[in-house]
Amino acid sequence: MSRRALRIACGQGFWGDRLDAPIEQVRRGPIDFLMLDYLAEVTMSILQKQKARDPSQGYARDFVPLLEEIFPDIVEKGIRVISNAGGVNIAGCREGLVEAARAAGVADRARIGTVTGDDILERLPDLIAAGHELANMDDGRPLSEVLDLVESANAYIGAAPIVEALARGADVIVTGRSTDTALTYAPMIHAFGWSWDDWDRIAHGIVAGHINECGAQASGGNCMIDWETIPDLADVGYPIVEATPEGPFVLTKHDGTGGRITPAIVKEQVLYEMGDPREYITPDGIADFTTIRLEADGPDRVRVHGVKGRPRTDMLKVSISYRAGFKAVGTLVYAWPDAVAKAQKADAVLRARLDRLGLSFDEIRTEYVGWNATHGPLAGPPPEDLPEVELRVAVKSAEKAPVERFTREIAPLILSGPPSVTGFAGGRPRVQDIVAYWPALIDRSAIEPGIEVEVVEA
């Protein structure tokens, strides 16, 4: 094994992240691996809907033109790309990549690996019949209660199939619902030959993955500490993990890029979306975040070491989404003087109208953006002389009709409500489907035999 640190770069923290970030990661300095995370909980249901409308869709479409752009670079430099861009149509994504490789003129030099078996939407009735209750981890309800409403169901799978694809020579690996963290530590397990029960080293990989997976949030973006002095966020350097065979790693970014990496900034990202820090559970092991040691290791370099791990569990987490009604959000802007009082009056008029129409909702929520939308009662009374405030009223219902009617009650307030109102150029609010999240656990044995790895020449 090479003694040189392995450089694993993050190119995308979510689907919709900066388009050229992965290109910069590939071109502005040395890296060995590029990982791109495209999947959030709600993304899987959006992709299932796209696939239902058009069977060629259902994956993160941005990934294919990106690869067409960087294929010559990665083939030339020997950079390998790992992404969960496959969503719920991994084969479709691979077809796109094969075409992209041909268009880029590297078809004979690029091997595409795929990992399938995480998508269990079609298997749900059989799994339930076989005794897998898939109970909601938050409230214990069995999945059978909402089975008819389910839109997507995917097991979070770990690094093993990615490591296999790397061993079989894949240059680009596309998965479905692999864990975000596995995209970063699979290359470590592959390159350093870590044993699957080397829990402390794997725990270092998990921590590296957690820090890396949210893009620039680890390198100066969305960072609270000294935010006003963080340089050049328009050219922020996305994070790069320099991994070592022993486990400890350094978080850094390319020289000459903007942003900042310090222990305090890395601490912010370590705590992001944290549950019980003593047990950060992944399919490949449990990391104890209370054992992480962080220290500065030169400018824009933070060394991470000391992480303790524990054995993996027999269960995998399953991410299920299901239809749960409809909602809409209406907004109007009220101007000084007495902006909040006018907006409050408009809210009262609107609610009286909804009553007169006999519409009932599961919830109506009013917020005043500019006064209390994010801090609620902690914001205190409205400040005197506020120049303007945005009235934001949101409703939800199991039925579409009342929500649809609500969307037609916002614009009339312009002529029939309190004065000094503007900000309605966006038109009538849109009725949105509510897609609720159903986290569950399932025995590994129900998933892992169905996982398949394929590696093909482009």
Partner 1 sequence: MTTRVQLRHLAHARSGDKGDTANVGVIAYSAQAYALLERELTAERVAEHFAGMIDGPVERFELHNLEALNFLLHGALGGGGTVSLMTDAQGKVYSTALLRAEIDVPADVLASLDTATGRAGR
Which of 394, 410, 446, 453 lies at the binding interface for partner 1 (CB under 8 A)? Answer: 394
Q: Which residues contact 41 (CB under 8 A, 6 or more apart)?
A: 319, 321, 437
Q: Give whichever of 29 and 277 is closer to partner 1, judged by the CB atom.
A: 277
Residue 439 touches partner 1, criterion: CB under 8 A = yes
d(CA 201, CA 185) in angstroms, rounded, equals 10
376 sits near partner 1 (criterion: CB under 8 A)? yes
User: Pairing between strand 315-335 and 432-443?
Assistant: antiparallel
Unique residue bearing structure tokens 């559970």: 281
**Could you tell me the strand order of the sheet in which 80-83 lies?**
293-296, 302-305, 249-252, 240-243, 6-12, 33-36, 80-83, 172-175, 111-116, 452-457
Does 435 interact with partner 1 (rule: CB under 8 A)? Answer: yes
271 lines the binding site for partner 1 (CB under 8 A) = yes
Q: Where does this chain touch partner 1 (CB under 8 A) — which range of 20-28, 202-210, 272-280, 413-421?
A: 272-280
Query: Which range of residues in 12-20, 55-63, 394-402, 411-419 is near partner 1 by CB under 8 A?
Result: 394-402
| Rounded distance between C-alpha atoms, residue 243 and residue 4, angstroms | 9
Residue 268 CA, chain-centre distance (Å), reads 17
Instruction: Provide the CA 275 distance to its chain's centre, in angstroms.
Output: 16
Min. distance of Cβ 309 from partner 1 in angstroms?
15
Name the minimum Å distance from CB 377 to partner 1.
5
21 to 60: interface string for partner 1, x by CB under 8 A? --------------------xx------------------
- According to the binding rule CB under 8 A, does residue 268 interact with partner 1? yes
- Spatial contact of 105 and 125, defined as CB atoms under 8 Å apart: no
Reference 25, options 79, 65, 62; nearest CA is 79
Residue 324 binds partner 1, judged by CB under 8 A: yes
The region of 19-27, 60-68, 310-318, 321-329 touching partner 1 under the rule CB under 8 A is 321-329
Among 292, 354, 403, 410, binds partner 1 (CB under 8 A): 292
**Cα angle 54-56-57, degrees, rounded to a multiple of 5:** 70
> Judged by CB under 8 A, which of 144, 244, 291, 407 binds partner 1?
291
Pick from 146, 233, 411, 434: which binds partner 1 (CB under 8 A)?
A: 434
> Any contact of residue 398 with partner 1 (CB under 8 A)?
no
Q: How far is the CB of 172 from partner 1 (least distance, A)?
A: 30
Q: Is the separation of the CB atoms in 23 and 47 below 8 Å?
A: no
Tell me, residue by residue from 221 to 250, as one string, x for binding to partner 1 by CB under 8 A and - for no binding.
-x-xxx--x---------------------
# residues near partner 1 by CB under 8 A:
53
The amino acid at 430: R
- Closer residue to partner 1, CB minimum distance, 303 or 392: 392
Q: What is the Cα gyration radius of the chain?
A: 25
DSSP secondary structure letter of residue 119: B
| Beta carbon nearer to partner 1, 206 or 453 | 206
**Under rule CB under 8 A, which residues in 117-156 are in contact with partner 1?**
138
Q: Classify strands 308-310 and 285-288 as parallel, antiparallel or unpaired.
A: antiparallel
Q: How far is the CB of 70 from partner 1 (least distance, A)?
A: 30
Bridge-based pairing of strands 280-282 and 308-310 is: unpaired
Q: Is the dihedral of CA 266, 272, 274, 279 positive or negative?
A: negative
Give me the least distance between CB of 445 and partner 1, in Å please. 26
Distance CA 351, CA 357 (A): 10
Q: How many C-beta neighbours within 10 Å does residue 125 have?
A: 10
Closer of 42 and 455 to partner 1 (Cβ): 42
432 contacts partner 1 (rule: CB under 8 A)? yes
Nearest to 165 by CA among 285, 82, 77, 58: 82
Residues 58 and 184: their CA atoms lie apart, in Å, by 23
Question: Can you tell me which of 68, 284, 367, 409 binds partner 1, judged by CB under 8 A?
Answer: 367
Residues that bind partner 1 (CB under 8 A): 41-42, 138, 222, 224-226, 229, 262, 264, 267-278, 289-294, 306, 324, 327, 329, 363, 365, 367, 369, 373-378, 392, 394-396, 432-437, 439
